Amino acid sequence: MRKRIFMALLAAGVLTISGCGGKKDNEEGEEKRDIVITYRSWDYGTETQDNEERKMIKAFEDTHKNIKINIVENISSGNFYWDDIRASVASGIDLADVFMIPNMDLPLSAGYLLNIKSFTDADPEFAKVPDSIKAACSFKSGVYSVPARMNLQGYFVNTTKVNGELGIETRNLSCNSGKEVIDQIIEAAAGNPNIVGLNSAAHYIDTMPSVNDSTGTYGYYTWDGANYHLDSQAFIDSVHKAKDLFGAKKTLDAFTDEDKAALGLDPEVDPAVDAWNKGKLAMRHGYTYEIPDMIEKNTLNNSYKFIGNPGGKITIVGDYYGIWKNTAHPQEAYEFAKYMSFGSEGFAKRMEVYEEKGSVNSLPLTNDESVVDAYFDKYGSSSVMSGLEDAFEYIRTKSMVEGVKTIVGFNAARFNKKTGIDIDAERTNATVFDVLNNCIIGGLDIATYADQLNTLVNSTYSNWISLYGGQYE
């Protein structure tokens, strides 16, 4: 029997949640509980929906008879979620004992987070969380978040098409394959009018510098834990490679509308998704939470393999819980957050709760062999999608964590900071994102601006530290 594939839901903005208030303790006459933990997140839907996350909360209450979880029933999502949190605090209302955080930047700068290092240091289960994720939960000498969900980012290969139409053997293709294999597939597809090698090379900005780095210290977007390295040869080479691929129309995002129509793509559908579903893409760089849709739309019976990034450089994309610094019950808040995330007991229950759905919304956030084995026994690779177990092995040793949710000042350094660089007469003082994007799809050369950009993006981190870092040791 074919094993089922896990599903990881895109956390931000998928379900609506809202406004203050919540179910009151003992409102239905149940036995009174001594401790109430207030919980705010974006993934538990409404009380009427009673989704899997609410079932997890109920399961925690069933095994912790003295604790009541009070759900904040919000109406906001996206950026408004954080606006609601800030409004609650400004109004003198505790935001929640445990709450999902959009990123580390916002709650750390606001001073909302409890340092939970005393709990994590004493917890043998936290010691089993992969090292890169533990590092992402830390700031300076403290630990300020609990890992909540985990998905992976990297290359998916249509092995049926790569074998059959491009004549490249994929049997030994794995997460440890070199970037030369990626290049080989892209080049082979360039000579075939029926298939495109890759959806986009835009990710080269974030992930390929780590692959190209000879020092072994670069993570996502060249971050090494203290500095960015946009002036490095590894970064410059990565952006140049992406520019070459786009300029030669070897990636789908370089295709015109006429080119896409010639491939038989539907203009009303995301071209990368449509091309993948129709067997017109050899490789798709994406996320493991896209797997269920890939499986559902696989009407051509293609076989796929997830291989992460070259050389085992898996990118982890996750969500995180914070614990309110003024909580009256820090130990119980930590135990609840742990149950909902990396704890072995809670994850076993998560697999049970999600069993009817046929998928789980996170990979195991632990190296505990019994948990990992149980997960993959139930939701591991199949004839349609392979490579997941192999990818998980690299989480322990070579993984890097996406910077958006974990590095303070990251959104300015990667997207929003004005650079003083003019792309053209109409686009003056462009943002970091626009400059880097133009270095791939436009006329700017990253080599010309690398030093200037590197100084600028490193200043976003140092400026953040100057403004907010003094409250942390």
Tell me how far apart the alpha carbons of residues 135 and 139 are, in angstroms, rounded to a whole number.
8
The pLDDT score that the predictor gives to residue 27 is: 47
Burial class (CB in 10 A: 0-12, 13-18, 19+), 143: buried
Q: Strand pairing partners for 304?
A: 158, 385
Say if CB 310 and CB 177 are below 8 A apart. yes
Per-residue pLDDT reduced to its tens digit, 205-235: 999 999 999 999 999 999 999 999 999 999 9
CATH class of 35-150+319-368: alpha beta
Q: Which helix (H) or strand (E) holds 386?
A: strand 385-386
- Residue 380: pLDDT above 90? no
**Using one digit for the tens of pLDDT, what is the confidence trace for 98-154?**
999 999 999 999 999 999 999 999 999 999 999 999 999 999 999 999 999 999 999
Q: Report the pLDDT value the prediction gives residue 318, as an integer from 0 to 100.
A: 94
pLDDT in the model for residue 357:
85
At 358-379, the pLDDT tens digits run: 889 999 999 999 999 999 998 8
Q: Model confidence at 25, in pLDDT bands (50, 70, 90)?
A: very low
Mean pLDDT of 79-84: 82
The closest alpha carbon to 155, from 207, 227, 190, belongs to 207
Chain-centre distance of CA 219, in angstroms? 14
- H helices of 279-431, in order, are 291-296, 330-339, 344-353, 369-379, 388-395, 410-411
pLDDT digits (tens, 9 = 90+) for 429-460: 999 999 999 999 999 999 999 999 999 999 99
Q: Are 416 and 432 in contact, with CB atoms under 8 Å apart?
A: yes
The band of 9, judged by pLDDT with boundaries at 50, 70 and 90, is: very low
Nearest to 385 by CA among 239, 284, 235: 284
pLDDT in tens, 343-358: 999 999 999 999 988 8
Partners of 285 in the beta sheet? 155
Which tens digits make up the pLDDT trace of 281-304? 999 999 999 998 999 999 999 999
Whole-number pLDDT of residue 31: 59
Q: Which one, of 273, 238, 239, lies nearest residue 253 by Cα?
A: 273
Query: Is residue 21's pLDDT more than 70?
Result: no
Residue 255 CA to residue 237 CA, distance in Å, equals 23
Mean predicted lDDT score pLDDT of the chain: 91
d(CA 450, CA 430): 15
Number of alpha carbons in the 13 Å side-chain half-sphere of residue 199: 20
pLDDT computed for residue 93 by the predictor: 65
Closest CA to 153 of 276, 293, 252, 285: 285
Per-residue model confidence (pLDDT) at position 75: 61
For the chain, which residues make up each domain, given as ranges? Answer: 35-150+319-368, 152-315, 410-471
Q: Do domains 35-150+319-368 and 152-315 have the same CATH topology?
A: yes
pLDDT-derived band at 94, boundaries 50, 70, 90: low
Among 124-133, 391-400, 404-413, 454-463, whose mean pLDDT is lowest?
A: 391-400
432-441: b (≥16 Cβ within 10 Å) or e: bebbbbbbbb
Q: Binning pLDDT at 50, 70 and 90, where does residue 84 land?
A: confident
Cβ atoms within 10 Å, residue 372: 21
* Angle formed at CA 145 by CA 463 and CA 40, multiple of 5 degrees: 110
**Beta carbons of 392 and 124 less than 8 angstroms apart:** no
**Residues pairing with 287 in the sheet:** 153
Give the CATH superfamily of 152-315: Periplasmic binding protein-like II (3.40.190.10)
Confidence of residue 401 (pLDDT cuts 50, 70, 90): very high
Q: pTM score, two decimals?
A: 0.90
Could you give the residue ranges of the DSSP H alpha helices within 158-200? 159-164, 179-190
- Average pLDDT score over residue span 53-81: 89
Whole-number pLDDT of residue 81: 85
Query: Taking 50 as the threshold, does the pLDDT of residue 237 lie above it?
Result: yes
What pLDDT is recorded for position 77? 63
